[in-house]
Copies of this chain bind each other. A is one copy, B any other.
Amino acid sequence: MQVSAYAKDCPSRQILDRIGDTWSVLIVVMLADGAHRYTELAKRIQGVSPKMLTQTLRGLERDGLITRTVHPVVPPRVDYALTELGHSLYGLVEGLEKWAETHIDDVQAARVEYDALRRKGRNRRLCGG
C-alpha cells in the first residue's frame, strides 16, 4: 500500500479537509435546523471573524453544500441554507459526534496515563544518578 498526502483528487482527502475545518462544521451544524442570515451566523458562532465567515460560506457554497439567497431589499438580507448534499454531510457529522461521545472517555484516560508515565520517566532519569 502506498498513500500520498498530496493526492488532491482523492475524494476522502477533500471531505476530510472540509470536516477538519472548524468553521465549516460549525456552520453546517448551525444550518441543520433551518436557514440563517449572515449576521445570525456571525453572532451565534462565537469567535468567527467576518473574513473567515465569508470565506467559509463561499467554500461551502462552491461545494454545493449550502445555498446563498440574496433578497433584493434594503437593508440587504442574505439567507444561507443547507442543500440536500449539505444535509447528507450533516448526517456524517452526527455520526462523528456519536463516535466522539462514545469514545472520548477512553481517549481522555489514555492521555492521562500517557502523561503520567512521561512524568515518571523524566523523574526517574533525574533521580537515578
How many copies the complex holds: the figure is 2
Report the bound CA distance from A55 to B83 in whole Å.
38
Interface membership of chain A positions 1-40, coded 1 if the CB is closer than 8 angstroms to chain B and 0 otherwise: 1111110000111111101111101100110010000000
What residue of chain B has the Cβ atom nearest to residue A25's Cβ? B16
- Chain A binding surface SS class: helix
Q: A2-B44, A19-B16, A100-B14 are in contact. Are A106 and B85 (CB under 8 A)?
A: yes
Residue A74 CB within 8 A of the other chain? no
CB-CB < 8 A to A100: which residues of B?
11-12, 14-16
What residue of chain B has the Cβ atom nearest to residue A17's Cβ? B20
Are A12 and B127 interface neighbours, CB within 8 A? no
| Interface residue from B21, B45, B48, B61 paired with A114 (Cβ < 8 Å) | B61
Are B124 and A64 interface neighbours, CB within 8 A? no
Report the bound CA distance from A62 to B47 in whole Å.
29
Q: A103-B85, A127-B70 are in contact. Are A26 and B3 (CB under 8 A)?
A: yes
